[in-house]
A and B are shown apart, each in its own frame.
Chain A
Amino acid sequence: MSSNGFVMSAHEVRKRFGRLEVLKGVSLEVKRGEVVCVIGPSGSGKTTFIRCIHHLEKIDGGRIEVNGHLIGYREQNGKLIEDSERSIARQRAEIGMVFQRFNLFPHKTALENVIEAPVQVRGVPKRQAIQQAEELLRRVGLADKRDVYPGKLSGGQQQRVAIARALAMRPALMLFDEPTSALDPEVIGEVLDVMKELALEGMTMIVVTHEMGFAREAADRVVMMDDGRIIEEGTPEHFFREPREERTKQFLSKILV
């Protein structure tokens, strides 16, 4: 547990791609066991923010801590210096990430996808990793797909394997970037169910999603991003009943048909 009591805390994070400033000072703090949904129009910087937490992008200003450890950088004489490749890798192992397009390893079976990182990164004995992976696949309802390659799985099944794969590293924090937006409508539910269960079990989660039904059921907090900033923050109920900002109202009226 971190010194300041937050699993993740981002302070004034700035990020630019060339001339384009994508994050203009984003601050967010997430407590242990909290589920935070991030909403906002396309291009508002949601994906970029999530990727910064995982240090898949460098940041140009501010700081991000996970479990009290500065992500991607080291402090030296008051300056931030990018960490070595290996220590960044070590930090990433503590943070799970689920991508919009699943990104399962196509040359490995469902089980092999799940045991890959525990065995290769953590050095978990293979037999033990397999046991754990079977348990995880059972949890996401795919025990029978153990030896199937991703190419033979539906999108919903692939995304559930991807969740199991991330969980196999026993992360302190799970990041989801629109995990259901590449899915057919009929399989969205099965993925959201797995995520809801995870939330109930007390996993700390940051979820970029426009599934307001999920937000209402599982989220403790919703943050609205617009143009590289968090413009509004509150409980899911707040967003349904009395959003404050005009931009939020506009946005919600578009996604809540």
Chain B
Amino acid sequence: MLAAFEWHILWQRIFHPDHVFVLALWRTIYISVAAQVFGVLLGLIAALMRMSKIWPLRVLSGLYVLVFRGTPVIVQIFFVYFGANLLFGFNLIPRTANFGLFQLDGAAFAGIVALSINEGAYMREIIRAGIDAIDRGQMEAARSLGMHYRLAMRRIVLPQAARVIVPPLGNEFNNMLKTSSLIFFIGVTELFGDAEIRYSTTFKPVEYFTAVAFWYLVLTTIWSVIQAQIERKLSVSERGEEPSFRERVFQAWAPVAAWGRGAR
């Protein structure tokens, strides 16, 4: 059976990715990043709404989480895609909008919107937990110095909450890289979509899906290295030391150095 596995396909997909493939990889990256960024923003807004004095805002925030955590992402993606189509036709969402490197067609746009909204619901919980983790005395101290609520939030509470939020946020992005594959089903050829198309024309599913798994692994690994870097840096300043430039360079190369040691 294994003899039937065409290694050269895998080889070629890994070492000589063609232009179409690189474009698909790039789509996965920018769609994930965009959806994560907007997801964090939506989550932050929803988290602040939840703490609002105005009760309809609190209710709205609760409903948001209820609905978007309680239904499958794929349903939300289809809903946004076809829903927007039904409401506005595809004309409202530009069929292809050109932002230099980004060629955003309607489907990719709908995909980013759906993934962002879904992510926002999860981020709201993460951000809320981060804010709750900060001692109430911090807000009081800030207000006792004459800061109004928003200023105290922005300058004192949120920067501290950010340290609590970063580790789970990193995990969310790891998930996002993989979950973004679902938007293939509304016709966006990102990494998974590219593999799907190749396999359907060659009938070599195992080769192409092995290759695509490899590339997802590359993305998530790179991200986990970056994430570890950020977390280390945060934990250093948490301990009350400002890392020197030399230490920072050292930290940045620490995983590589560790691999080096492991290999020896």
A complexed with B: yes
CB-based A-B contact count at 8 angstroms: 78
Which applies to chain B's interface (DSSP): helix, strand, loop or mixed? helix
A230 is an interface residue with CB less than 8 A from chain B: no
Of the listed stretches A27-35, A93-101, A238-246, chain B binds A93-101
Whether B156 and A151, one on each chain, are in contact in the complex, defined by CB atoms closer than 8 angstroms, is: no
Chain A, Cβ-Cβ closest to B151: A120
Whether A105 and B240, one on each chain, are in contact in the complex, defined by CB atoms closer than 8 angstroms, is: no
A103 in contact with B138 given A90-B146, A116-B145, A121-B145 (CB within 8 Å)? yes
Q: Which of A56, A99, A104, A117 contacts B146 (CB 8 A)?
A: A117
Most chain A beta carbons < 10 A, residue from B146, B160, B240, B241 = B146
Nearest chain B CB to A105 CB, angstrom units? 6
**What is the 8 Å Cβ interface bit string for chain B, positions 131-172, against chain A (1 contact, 0 not)?**
000010110111111111101000110011001000000000
Q: Which of B137, B146, B149, B241 contacts A103 (CB 8 A)?
A: B137
Whether A151 and B145, one on each chain, are in contact in the complex, defined by CB atoms closer than 8 angstroms, is: no
Complex: A95 Cα to B141 Cα, angstroms:
12
Complex: A166 Cα to B145 Cα, angstroms:
7
Complex: A21 Cα to B23 Cα, angstroms:
69
Whether A101 and B137, one on each chain, are in contact in the complex, defined by CB atoms closer than 8 angstroms, is: yes
Nearest chain B CB to A151 CB, angstrom units? 3
Residue count of chain B within 8 Å CB distance of chain A: 25
A53-90 CB contacts (< 8 Å) to partner B: 54, 56, 85-86, 89-90
Query: For chain A, which range describes its interface: under 10, 10 to 19, 20 to 34, or 35 or more residues?
Result: 20 to 34
Residues of A within 8 Å of B6, CB to CB, are: none
Whether B148 and A120, one on each chain, are in contact in the complex, defined by CB atoms closer than 8 angstroms, is: no
Complex: A152 Cα to B240 Cα, angstroms:
6
Complex: A149 Cα to B242 Cα, angstroms:
9
A254 is an interface residue with CB less than 8 A from chain B: no
A106 is an interface residue with CB less than 8 A from chain B: yes
Q: Which of A54, A85, A122 contacts B144 (CB 8 A)?
A: A54
Complex: A143 Cα to B241 Cα, angstroms:
18
Whether A86 and B237, one on each chain, are in contact in the complex, defined by CB atoms closer than 8 angstroms, is: no
Whether B240 and A151, one on each chain, are in contact in the complex, defined by CB atoms closer than 8 angstroms, is: yes
Whether A117 and B240, one on each chain, are in contact in the complex, defined by CB atoms closer than 8 angstroms, is: no
A199-231 CB contacts (< 8 Å) to partner B: none
Residues of A within 8 Å of B149, CB to CB, are: 85
Q: Which residues of A contact B (CB under 8 A)?
A: 54, 56, 85-86, 89-90, 92-97, 99, 101, 103-107, 116-117, 120-122, 147-152, 162, 165-166, 169
**Can you identify 19 A-B contacts, CB atoms within 8 angstroms?**
A56-B144, A85-B149, A89-B143, A92-B145, A92-B146, A93-B146, A95-B144, A97-B141, A99-B137, A99-B141, A103-B138, A116-B155, A117-B145, A121-B145, A121-B146, A149-B237, A149-B240, A150-B240, A151-B239
Q: Which residues of B contact A (CB under 8 A)?
A: 135, 137-138, 140-149, 151, 155-156, 159-160, 163, 237-242
For the complex of A and B, the 6 pairs showing the least CB-CB separation, nearest first, are A93-B146, A151-B240, A149-B240, A103-B141, A117-B145, A97-B144
